[in-house]
Structures are given as structure tokens and as C-alpha cells.
Amino acid sequence: MIKTYQKRPYYLNKIRPFIGSDLIKVLIGQRRVGKSYILWQLMDEIKKKDKKANIVYINKEENEFDEIVSHKDLISYAEEKIIKKEKNYLFIDEIQEIENFEKALRHLAAKKIFDIYCTGSNARLLSSEIATGLSGRYLEIPIHSLSFKEFLQFHNLKAGEETLLKYIRYGGLPFLSNLKLNDEIAYGYLRSIYNTIVLKDVVARFNIRNINFLNRLLEYVADNIGSLVSAKKISDFLKSQKTQTTPNKILDYLSYLCSSFIIREVNRADVKGKKIFEINEKYYFEDLGLRNSLVGYKATDISQMLENLVYSHLLRLGFKIHVGQLENKEIDFVAEKEGKRMYIQVAYLISNQAIKDREFGNLLEIRDNYQKIVVSMDKLIGDDYKGVKHYHILDFLLNDNLLN
């Protein structure tokens, strides 16, 4: 198989130390974020080191593998491809399309014949089945749409405000680098991806009949990025739009959408006591281009989209993220990693003293020594303010070492 692609070394560097190990490497993420290309990148790396390596590749999105529908089919196919006295590698794309796949992975892993890699696009199915059937035997690697740094690389662009606005407008799905970046072409492609995700990973997977309601719900989330929402609040809004439903159904549908990775849920946590609140979450999109293809790009939404960008960057870097609650004040993000913590506020512009007092002041009320950051689009960034660091959004998105 000969494939051309742009490399994504960030992910390869994460996986490389585990090549050849007994752990099953599971790449998870939304459809079309580039999981297959990372598999091909891994295959090429393996072949460079061992030209005799036997690579078995199964892609459940291709017709030639339609007959592999169950774990027994997978075991039979894989074992037929074994080459004795050589190192055998098994790569499976969209493994959730194979019924009881975890049984096959457990069987094949136990025999220690294959070094196994797979991808999946459904969080609920993967987490429940793999965690139950393969506890302690797998490594999960989240794959995301392109970071801003990768976006510049894929589109051969230089960092600047104009390219940042392109990134905000069209998002980071890798295939866009093959298309002209205008609304008609890019959003036409993105709408087709949106429909695929909704139909394959939500409607078909969870037997949903009311597709119109699902779309209305996702539009509501898209219009309320960064706002605290509750199932009751959404239910009341939909009732005002002549759509009747219950808060429980809304919660179910939101969980289905999160399982497809198209949106992400962020819970609130008390900054002082670390208590997790079970109501009033925030939701963000995996990819802003998909969000904009759904409800349109509006310059008036720039604050919401900047907040989504900051969240996505933190997520890619492996932070555990909450919305902070400090008495009656809100901290946009509390991000934790490697035993360290950061507090982050996001604003479009620090245009007056009142905004400065709010954004910096909220952080200054947190009485600990962890890093505190304000991110905005102000062109002229001043010095740190009373120990709170001030980032331009461009500098923030290009920084992969925020803890340093």
C-alpha cells in the first residue's frame, strides 16, 4: 500500500515508545481527524526498521473488508495472514464496526503473535468494551483535528492574524488542505462530514428516530459554546421553539453526541474544594469548522470561538480540564497535568479597565501559586499583571509547553 500524507510527529512521538510492546494501541477520535493517516505513518516507520515485517491492515470503511463483521471473522482473517518467523503487525481501522471486537483483540493479544494497533470513532463503545475486555492490556491515544501549528504546516501558511482567522473559520480537519478555503467548498465538505458523523456514529449506533431534534439540539450547543447549560434550560428553549422533549432525553442525546467526539462536555469544579458539580456543564466542539458549517460563521461569535480554541489546545496537550467555580465567580478553565495546574481566562480584547479587572481580578482571587493566564487577541501585549501571564492567542496556540 502506497499512501502520501503529511506527517504528524506529535502523535508518532507519543506512540513510538510502545511499538513492539504487548499493549494494544488504540487511537480514538472523531471521524476524519486523521487517525488512518497516523496508522499509515506508523506502518511506514515499522517498514523502515524491518523490511520483512508482516503488516496486516483492515479498514472497515472499505468494501473489501465487508465480510469481517464479527470477532470470529476477525480472528480467522488475522490468523490466516500470519507469517511464521517474522514479526507480525495488525492494524484495524474503525474497529467498532466489528461486533464483539474486544473478544478478538483479547484472543490475539493473548497469543502474542501480533503487535496490534486500531482506531475507533465511538467513545462509549470503545471505553466500555475495551475497558471491560482488555483491562490493563491497552494504551489509548486520543487523536484530534489539526492544531494551529499543524494547520499552518498542512496549508503551507505562516502564523499571523489572517491565518488564525482562517483556522477559526474552517477548522482543522486535515483533508481541507486539498481544497480551496472558501465557504462554498470548505463548508460543503464539512457538512458532508457532519452528516456522516451524525448518521453513522449517533443515529445508527443509538437507533435514533428523531433526527430533526438531534440537529436542533446540536445547533443549540453550537450557539452556546462556552455558556453554562443544563438539560432543563435546553428543554425550556426548545419548547419555546415548538419542540417538545424531556430533560432526560436531552441528556441522553448529549451523551450520544459526546460519544462521537463531535462535541465535548466540560464539568464545573469548585476551585477551593475540588468538588465536581453535576449540573450546568459547558460544551465545546472538537472542530470549529464543523460548528461553523452547521450554524454559520459570525464575527460576533469570536469570543466563543476563542474559548473553544483554547479548550481544544489544552485538550490536545493532554490536560484534564474543568470550568472553575470560585464562590460566585467563574474561571474559564482549570487545567491539570503531571501534578501541576493552570488557571486560564479567555477574552476577545482587554479593551477597558472593567474587563481587565474582571479577567485578571478573578484569577488574582485564587490563593495558590499555580500558573495563572489570560488569553486574548490584543495586538499589544503588556507585561504580566501582578503575576498573571498575558498571552496573545497566537502565542498560546503555538506553545506546546505551557507548564514550563
Domain ranges (residues) in the chain: 9-142, 148-397
- Which residues are registered as beta bridge partners of 59? 93
Q: In what order do the strands lie in the sheet with 340-346?
A: 276-285, 263-270, 320-326, 329-337, 340-346, 371-376, 389-392
DSSP state, 146?
A: P
Tell me the pTM: 0.95
- The CATH number of 9-142, from 3.30.930.10, 3.40.50.300, 3.40.50.920, 3.30.450.20, is 3.40.50.300
Rounded Cα distance between 305 and 284, Å, is 9
Nearest CA to 256 out of 212, 208, 314 is that of 208
C-alpha 151/C-alpha 145 separation (Å) is 9
Provide the strand spans (E) within 210-303. 263-270, 276-285
Q: What is the average pLDDT value for the chain, to the nearest integer?
A: 93
H/E stretch holding 321:
strand 320-326
- In angstroms and rounded to an integer, the radius of gyration of the C-alpha atoms of the chain is 22
Write out the chain's pLDDT in tens, 404 residues: 556 789 999 999 999 999 999 999 999 999 999 999 999 999 999 999 999 999 999 999 999 999 999 999 999 999 999 999 999 999 999 999 999 998 999 999 999 999 999 999 988 766 766 767 777 788 999 999 999 999 999 999 999 999 999 999 999 999 999 999 999 999 999 999 999 999 999 999 899 999 999 999 999 999 999 999 999 999 998 888 888 889 999 999 999 999 999 999 999 999 987 777 767 899 999 999 999 999 999 999 999 999 999 999 999 999 999 999 998 899 999 999 999 999 999 999 998 888 888 899 999 999 999 999 999 999 766 668 888 999 999 999 999 999 87
What is the rounded CA–CA span in Å between residue 69 and residue 95? 10
The residues facing 392 across adjacent strands are: 376
The cell for 29 is: 477520535
pLDDT digits (tens, 9 = 90+) for 250-284: 999 999 999 999 999 999 999 987 777 767 899 99
Fill in the amino acid letter for 339: G
pLDDT digits (tens, 9 = 90+) for 71-87: 999 999 999 999 999 99
Q: Name the pairing type of β-strands 276-285 and 263-270.
A: antiparallel
Query: In this structure, what are the phi and psi dihedrals at residue 24, rounded to the nearest 5 degrees?
Result: -80, 125
Minimal CA–CA distance to 384: which of 394, 373, 393, 370? 373
